[in-house]
Chains A and B, each alone.
Chain A
Amino acid sequence: MRSFLLDALRRGKATVMPPVPEPAALEELAKALAERARQQLGRSLAIREVDAGSCNGCELEINALNNPVYDIERFGLKFVASPRHADVFLVTGPVTWNMQEALLRAYNAAPEPKWVVGVGDCAANCGVFAGSDAVAGPLASVLPVDLHIGGCPPAPIQIVKGLLALMEKAG
C-alpha cells in the first residue's frame, strides 16, 4: 500500500487542470434558469445519476468523473445515492416506457430547487433508438431539462465542462 503512495509522489498529480465551462452550456442555462428560483448552494451540487434506458456507455464515462484524472469532487460536485439529497438529476438514455415511472418517482422525491441535465445524444433525441415503440421519448418529453450534454457518449471532460457551467449559473 505504501508503494501506491510513493508511486503517486514520484509520478506527480494525475488530475487534469480544470476546464473552462462550456460556453454553449452557459448560454443554454442562462435561458433555462432565467425564470427559475435561484438559491445559493455554496458552490456545491449533489448529483443523482439515473440511467433511464441507456446502453451503459454514458454510465462508463460518468463513472470516470470520479477517477483521479477528472476528480469532480474538487469542484464541489458529488454523486449521492438518495434523490432526497440531490440538487441535480443527471439522466442518460432514451427514456424507456419501463423506466419512466422510476425516473419520475426519483425526480419527485428530490427537494426544490432541482435541475435536470441530460447526458448523451439519447437523452437529447433518443439517438439510434429514436422511433422505437419501447421508448417513451427523449428526456425533455418527461422532465423539464435545463442542460443537454451531447455525445455518444460524451467524454468525461465534456461532462465536467457542462456541470461547471451549471455551477456557475445555479450555484
Chain B
Amino acid sequence: MTGTALADLIAGNHAGPDGYVRLDVTSDVWTALAEGCAAGQHDLSALWVDEGRVRMALNGKGRRAILSLKTDKGAYPSVSVHHAPALRLERAMRDLHGVRPVGLPDGRPWLDHGRWPGRESTARYEFLRVEGDDLHQVAVGPIHAGIIEPGHFRFTASGETVVRLEQRFGYTHKGVERLLQGADVARGARIASRISGDSTVAYAWAFARAVETALGWSVPPRAVLLRGILAELERLSHHINDVGGICNDAGVITINARCMLQREDVLLVAAACFGHRLMMDCVVPGGVATDLSQDGIGPIRDLLARLEETRAEILRVYDGLPSLQDRTVTTGVARPELVRQYAAGGFVGRASGRAFDTRKAFPYGPYDRLDFEAKTRIDGDVDARLQVRMDEIVESLRMVRELLDRLEPGDIRSEPPPFVAGEGAALIEAFRGDAFLSVTLDSAGRLGRVHIRDASWFQWPILEAAIEGNIIADFPICNKSFNCAYSGQDL
C-alpha cells in the first residue's frame, strides 16, 4: 500500500471548532495524500483553489482535515493523476482559476464551453473515442425531454446496449463562488439558498454553519431543532418524489401520482408552517428566520402520519408488481469498489454498501443527540436506491417526531458576534448526500473565498459506469434513481 494516511499525518493536531484540522503541507506530502486516497486510506471530500494555494479536504475515520499547498505560480502536483475522482474537480479548477495541475490526465475544459466573454473559442469539444464494429452514438441534451436541468449525455451503443456513456456539464454555471466573493453574510445566505433549489435547506445550513464556526457564533437550541425539522422535511419531500419518479420511468404512473400528491402535501404544510413551500431562506446564520408556531406542530404531526401511510401503501403496491421490479432489480448496478473509490455519498453510496452518512460520521446538532440508523443495501441497483430512500423515510419520520417532542420555547436566532477574520467549513447531509461548504471571512464581515462541493461530483461519474451494459431505454430510470444535481455542481 502506498501513500500517507491522513490519520498518521494529523495525529497530534487539534481540530478547529468546525471539526477540521488545518495544515500546510509540502508537495511531497500532498502527493502522498493523493496516493492515500487512491489506496483507500481516507476519502477525498473537496479540492479547490484559494489565493495562491490549492486546498484538499479529506475525511478519515472520525477525523477530517483541510490541507493546503502553495502553488508554484499556479502549478501544483495533480491529484487526479493518482486518484481519478479528482479529475472533474481539477478540470473545473483549471477553467475557473487558471491553475496548472501538473500531470492532469485529461486536458479538456470542464466548465468553460468557450462562451464566456473575452474567452470565446470555437474549438470543438472532443468526446473520448469509442471504437468498435457496429457502434453508433446518441447525443442527448443539454435540453432534455422532461422538465429537468440541462446537461449533455453522449451514449455510444451497440444495438440497444450502452457501451459507454460520457457526460458533459457546466451549462448552468452561474459563477456562484465569484458572486459570493466580497458579499456580506446576509447576501451570502440568500445565494447559498439558491445553489441547488432542491437542497436549499441543506445549503443554507451548510453556509450558516461554516460562517458560525468561523465567527464562534452560537445558535439557540430551539433553532438547532428547527433546522433538523426543516432538513428532514426537505429530505422526505424529495425521497417520496424520487420513488414516484423512478416508478414513473417504468410506466407505473399510479404510484407516481400518489407520490406527487404526497410531496405536494409536504410542501403545503411547509408553506403553512414556515412561509415557503421549499423552505427557502428559512435557515440563516445565527439560527432560523421563521419560528414554528404552536399551531404548526399539529399539522406537521398529521403530515407525518399521512406520509407513513403513503409509504406503506406504495411499498405494498411496489412489492406486488413483478413487472415493475423487472425494471428496477439488477438495473444500473453501481459497483461497491467504485462507490468506495469515489466516496460516493447519499443513497448512491448507501445502496452499494457504503455506510457513510454525515449525520452519523461527523455528527452536528441536532443529529448528535438523535437516535437513528444510516440505512444501507448491498445490491447497488435501481431497486436498492429506491429501497434506501424508503428506509430513510422511516428514519426521517422518527427524527421529526422526536425533534417536535423536544421543542421548547426560546429564541430562534442569536445576534452575530463581532466580526473577526477567519475561516470555517461544514459538511451537511443533503437529501442526495454530503454537501461541503467552506468560507473565509475578513474582519469587516465580507466573504472571501467560498467553496461549495455538491455530493453529485462523486456520484455522476458512477452513473457513467452503472449504465454500461444496460439498454438505452433504461437510462431515464437509472438517472432518476441517482437524481444528481446540475446547478449544485455547475455552480
Contacts and interface: CB of A to CB of B under 8 A. Distances in A.
A64 B260 contact: yes
A155 B116 CA distance: 33
Contact of B117 (A4, A64, A68, A133): A133
B115 A56 contact: no
A98 B172 contact: yes
Contacts of B490: 98
A56 B485 contact: yes
Interface stretch (B158-166, B194-202, B213-221, B369-377): B194-202
Given A68-B257, A99-B171, A51 B317 contact: no
Nearest to B203: A55
A61 interface: yes
Contacts of A24: none
Contacts, number: 148
B257 A67 contact: yes
A128 B260 contact: no
B261 A68 contact: yes
Contact of A56 (B197, B260, B263): B197
B194 to A, nearest CB: 4
Interface string B112-136: 0101110000000000000000000
Nearest to B183: A128
A1 B257 CA distance: 12
Interface stretch (A36-44, A100-108, A138-146): A100-108
Nearest to A49: B147
B242 to A, nearest CB: 12
Contacts of A56: 149, 196-198, 485-488
A53 B172 contact: yes
Nearest to B277: A155
Given A61-B277, A96-B174, A102-B142, A1 B321 contact: yes
A58 B277 CA distance: 12
A150 to B, nearest CB: 15
Most buried by A among B142, B200, B263, B490: B142
B190 interface: yes
A149 B171 CA distance: 23
Contacts of A50: 143, 150
Interface string A15-29: 000000000000000
A127 B194 contact: yes
Chain A: number of interface residues, binned into ranges: 35 or more
Contact of A132 (B178, B187, B263, B271): B178
B175 interface: yes
A94 interface: yes
B6 interface: no
A83 B399 CA distance: 45
B148 interface: yes
A28 to B, nearest CB: 23
B254 A1 contact: yes
Given A3-B317, A59-B149, A132-B175, A97 B115 contact: yes
A46 interface: no
B116 A97 contact: yes
B146 A81 contact: yes
Nearest to B314: A4
A151 B170 CA distance: 25
B113 to A, nearest CB: 5
B117 A79 contact: no
A20 B230 CA distance: 32
Contacts of B170: 98
B411 interface: no
A61 B174 CA distance: 21
Contacts of A102: 142-143, 150, 171
B258 A57 contact: no
- 5 smallest beta-carbon distances between A and B, as pairs: A57-B197, A134-B175, A81-B145, A67-B260, A132-B175
21 contacts: A1-B317, A3-B313, A4-B255, A4-B258, A4-B313, A49-B147, A51-B147, A51-B148, A53-B174, A55-B195, A57-B194, A57-B280, A59-B149, A68-B257, A96-B174, A97-B117, A98-B111, A98-B172, A98-B490, A106-B143, A132-B178
Interface of A: 1, 3-4, 7, 14, 49-64, 66-69, 79, 81, 93-94, 96-103, 106, 127-129, 131-135, 152-153, 155
Given A69-B264, A129-B191, 17 more contacts: A3-B317, A7-B313, A14-B261, A51-B147, A53-B171, A55-B194, A57-B278, A60-B197, A62-B147, A68-B260, A96-B171, A97-B113, A98-B113, A98-B490, A133-B116, A133-B117, A152-B194
